[in-house]
Chain A
């Protein structure tokens, strides 16, 4: 009876055939993706070389990439990337440390939610950028205010992602867990958390993007280090290749950050995609 029933359903590929498919598929995917990027770079180069766009304002890609190389070779850009990451990572980390438990607490307690809820709502709709001067006034122009900015910008997506995730936990899973004899902490760790993880991860990715955005702005306004500072300083010096070099590096940092988070996410959420 079993064979006849299961035969009708498409079998998922075994892990081996999946690996083979991936091995064939990845180069092809990389090729098609890089083709578009390559085209963009070519257009950039041409626009500038032909003078369609003033090369003073848009130096050719080749010049910019040479500047990136130079920046890394001398360690100048490395130092600023490290400075930016040194603010983004702790900011994001603290946001995670506060956002997830706060989200849990707000979802767990209705009275807390009605009490703090409106505050959260007002604060999260207050742009972090608008608060930049406030942060600077309160915390100075040092690292603390930058990290605090990232923290503030990253907190809300994580908080909302956590609350969303908890709201999405099917009561039936809780029932099943309870019927198996789980309760309290175990129920929470083994069922509530894994069930809300997808939404929390989405929150983290949005938080990373928001954090980087705000960080660059903060670095532009009041800092002596970081990619935002480099972009701003280079522009003031009319070192446009240097400015574009920093922008390019910033894009790559953002892209890599997101890709890394996606990688972690797909690892933990294999069950959704496989």
Chain B
């Protein structure tokens, strides 16, 4: 916590608001349907930030903004000092619904992203193999997405993003469709990759345990309008194993606190970081 004052900011959300054009059916007013309200949050270089929040609070919307896929109504997003207006090669997104191309095989889905990023054809084969091995899907390279289970699709989507070796990885509930065992394996793998490659990760989840075992900080969002209610600094070591984290003396207290904030965001008395 103390070192953070000196850590450079990688990605800054500066008083960000986002509204969608109101549809009369949804009961919006002339100003539109306000989805995110005054989001102010700095993500540090090499940080693993987890965002938790109830369904529909605007987490995916926030990630789209960070990815440069849509523009804020108010405020701005700053990446390395420059305002984000469009996607860039230093950022990669793992979408909530995988976003695999059904007309491409697993291999080609990943190679396609590499081609788009300008990776030469010869280097692609090597990289695709490596990331598929990482997520345990070497044997599925020639399959089409409709031949995969939900969890396998999710792993392909993760592999696709990792293959791009992004500096900033934006992940939208990437482990949602996995069984507990696979999920824990991939969580540990993601932590390892993060430590090794010094990635900055923004990770969205609605699972408190996942938030606690992955992140360094947890931003808790509230709904209607979507806003950041509190940001919690976690006391765990970056190289701590999941079991160590779960048995940490503060774990239970943190878990209870985040749960309480999620269920009653208006009762929060702590100052927002």
Among B101, B116, B136, which residue has its beta carbon within 8 angstroms of that of A2? Answer: B136
Contacting pair B92 A271 (CB below 8 A): no
Contacting pair B149 A172 (CB below 8 A): no
Scan B105-130; emit 1 where CB is below 8 A from any A CB, else 0: 10000001100110000000000000
Complex Cα–Cα for A88 and B53 (A): 60
Scan B7-46; emit 1 where CB is below 8 A from any A CB, else 0: 0000000000000000000000000000000000000000
Complex Cα–Cα for A186 and B118 (A): 13
B179 within 8 Å of A (CB atoms): yes
Contacting pair B103 A190 (CB below 8 A): no
Contacting pair B117 A180 (CB below 8 A): yes
Given A1-B182, A172-B99, A6-B112 contact (CB < 8 Å): no
Interface residues of A, dominant DSSP: helix
The interface residues of chain B lying within 8 Å CB-to-CB of A190 are: 112
How many residues of B are in contact with the other chain, CB < 8 A? 40
B6 within 8 Å of A (CB atoms): no
From B75-83, B139-147, B249-257, the one touching the partner chain is B139-147
Contacting pair B87 A173 (CB below 8 A): no
The interface residues of chain A lying within 8 Å CB-to-CB of B147 are: 12, 274
B71 within 8 Å of A (CB atoms): no
B206 within 8 Å of A (CB atoms): no
Contacting pair A2 B135 (CB below 8 A): yes
Interface residues of A in 24-51 (CB under 8 A from B): none
The interface residues of chain A lying within 8 Å CB-to-CB of B87 are: 178-181
How many residues of A are in contact with the other chain, CB < 8 A? 30
A167 within 8 Å of B (CB atoms): no
Shortest CB distance A4–B (Å): 7
Interface residues of B in 140-168 (CB under 8 A from A): 140, 143-144, 146-149, 151-152, 164
The interface residues of chain A lying within 8 Å CB-to-CB of B89 are: 181
* Nearest CB in chain B to that of A268: its residue: B103
Shortest CB distance A123–B (Å): 32
Contacting pair B181 A4 (CB below 8 A): yes
The interface residues of chain A lying within 8 Å CB-to-CB of B105 are: 271
Complex Cα–Cα for A195 and B101 (A): 8
Shortest CB distance B209–A (Å): 18
Residues of chain B touching chain A, judged by Cβ–Cβ distance below 8 Å, are 64, 67-69, 87-89, 91-93, 95, 97, 99, 101-105, 112-113, 116-117, 135-137, 139-140, 143-144, 146-149, 151-152, 164, 179, 181-182, 185
**14 pairs, CB–CB < 8 Å, chain A vs chain B:** A5-B182, A6-B139, A9-B148, A12-B143, A176-B93, A176-B95, A176-B99, A179-B67, A179-B93, A180-B112, A181-B87, A181-B89, A186-B116, A197-B103
Residues of chain A touching chain B, judged by Cβ–Cβ distance below 8 Å, are 1-6, 9, 11-12, 172-173, 175-182, 186, 190-191, 194-195, 197, 269-272, 274
